[in-house]
Structure 1
Amino acid sequence: MIGQVIVEDDDPEFNATLGEAYRLRDRPICLCCDKGASMYVAKIGEQLVIKRMPLSGGEHDPQCPSYEPPYELSGLGPLIGGAIQLDPANGLAALKLDFSLSKRGAKKVTGAPTQYEGPVKNEIRKLSLRALLHYLWHQGGLTEWTAHWAGKRHWFQVRSHLMDAAATMTVKGGALVERLFVPETFRLEDKAVIVQRRALALEDIRAPASGSRKLMLLVGEVKEFASARSGQKIVIKHMPGFPLMLEDGAWRRLQSRYAAALELWQANEAFHLIVIATFGMTPSGIAGIDEIALMCVTEQWLPIENAYEQRLVESLARLSLKSVKGLRFNLPSAQPMAAATFPHHRPSPVALYIVPPDADGGFKVALAEMIAARPDVEPWIWRVAEGEMPVLPVLSEFSTRQPSRS
Structure 2
Amino acid sequence: MRQFLIGGQAFDGDAPELSARLEHAYAQKLRPLCRCKEPPLPMYIARVDDLYVIKRMPLSGRDHDPACPSYEPPYELSGLGSLIGNAIQIDASGKAALQLDFPLTKKGARSTPASRPEASLPALRNETKKLSLRAVLHYLWEAGELTEWRSSWAGKRGWGRVRTSLINAASQMTARGGALNDILFVPEGFHQDDREGIAARRAAALAGAYASGSGPRKLMVSVAEIKEFIAARGGQKIAVRHHPFPFMIEDGTWKRLSVKYETELELWRSSEDFHLIMIATFSISAGGITSIEEIAMMVVNEYWIPFESIHEQHLLERLSRLKRKSVKGLRFNLSREQPVVSVTLPEQHPAPVAMFIVPPGAGEDYERALAEMIEARPEITAWIWRVSEEEMPKLP
Report the TM-score, using the length of structure 2 for normalisation: 0.87
Match of 1:228 in 2: 232
**What does residue 254 of structure 2 align with?**
251
Equivalent of residue 131 in structure 1, options 105, 122, 135: 135
- Which structure has the larger Rg? 1
Distance in 2 of aligned mates of 1:56 and 1:200: 33
Residue matched to 1:268: 271
In 2, Cα distance between the equivalents of 1:49 and 1:193? 25
Structure 2 vs 1, CA of residues 282 and 326 (structure 1 numbering), >3 Å: closer, same or farther? same
Q: CA deviation at 1:307?
A: 1.1
- 1:322 — aligned with what? 325
Q: CA deviation at 1:73?
A: 0.7
Mapped contact 1:42–1:48 kept (Cα < 8 A): no
Q: Tell me the secondary structure at the aligned position of residue 279 of structure 1.
A: strand
Deviation digits for residues 187-238 of structure 1 (CA, Å, limit 9, x no counterpart): 3444333223212211122112311111111110000000012211100011
Which residue is equivalent to 1:281? 284
Q: Distance in 1 between matches of 2:276 and 2:105?
A: 26
Change (3 A) 1:37 1:252: farther
Structure 2: gaps spanning 5 or more residues: 114-118
CA distance in 2, matches of 1:144, 1:44: 17
Q: Does 1:362 align with 2:371?
A: no
Q: Sort the Cα spacing of 1:355 and 1:288 in 2 relative to 1 into closer, same or farther, 3 A.
A: same
Corresponding residue to 2:390 among 370, 387, 398: 387
Partners of 1:143 and 1:326 within 8 A in 2: yes
Deviation at 1:48, TM superposition (A): 10
C-alpha displacement at 1:66, in angstroms? 2.6
Contact between 2:209 and 2:219, CA under 8 Å: does it hold in 1?
A: yes
The structure-2 alpha-carbon separation of the partners of 1:15 and 1:90, relative to structure 1 and needing over 3 Å to count, comes to: farther
| Of 252-261 and 98-107, the range deviating more from structure 2 | 98-107
Q: Distance in 2 between matches of 1:204 and 1:223?
A: 24
Structure 1 position 156 matched with structure 2 position 160: yes
Contact 2:150 2:321 in 1 (8 A): no
Q: Which residue of 2 aligns with 1:346?
A: 349
Range with greater deviation from structure 2 (71-80 or 47-56): 47-56
Number of residue pairs aligned between Structure 1 and Structure 2 = 378
How far apart, in 2, do the equivalents of 1:8 and 1:292 lie?
A: 44
Partner of 2:77: 73
Q: 1:377 aligns with which of 355, 376, 380?
A: 380
User: Secondary structure at the residue paired with 2:375?
Assistant: helix
SS at match of 1:367: helix
Is contact 2:44-2:56 (8 Å) kept? no
- Cα deviations across residues 284-333 of structure 1 (Å, max 9, x unaligned)? 11000000000000011110111111111111111111000110000111
2:65 is aligned to 61
- Could you tell me how far apart the structure 1 residues matched to 2:222 and 2:135 are? 14
Aligned to 1:399: none
| Structure-1 separation of matches of 2:220 and 2:56 | 31
1:79 to partner: Cα distance: 1.1
1:8 aligns with 2:17: no
Distance 1:86 1:252 in 2: 37
1:237 is aligned to 2:241: yes
Distance (Å, rounded) in 1 between the aligned partners of 2:283 and 2:39? 45
Aligned to 1:200: 204
Report Cα offsets for 1:94-128 as digits up to 9, x if no partner.
111111111112443343336315xx57xxx1111
Which of 11, 35, 47 aligns to 1:30? It is: 35
2-side partners of 1:93 and 1:260: how far apart?
31
Distance 2:371 2:302 in 1: 32
Q: Deviations over 1:323-358 (max 9, x none)?
A: 001100001111101001001111100000000011
Asked if residue 300 in structure 1 is aligned to residue 309 in structure 2, the reply is: no
The alpha carbon displacement at 1:175 in A equals: 1.1
1:113 to 2:134 alignment: no
Tell me the amino acid that sits aligned with residue 211 of structure 2.
A
Alpha carbons of structure 1 residues 29 and 192: separation in structure 2 relative to 1, 3 Å: closer
- Paired position in structure 1 for 2:116: none
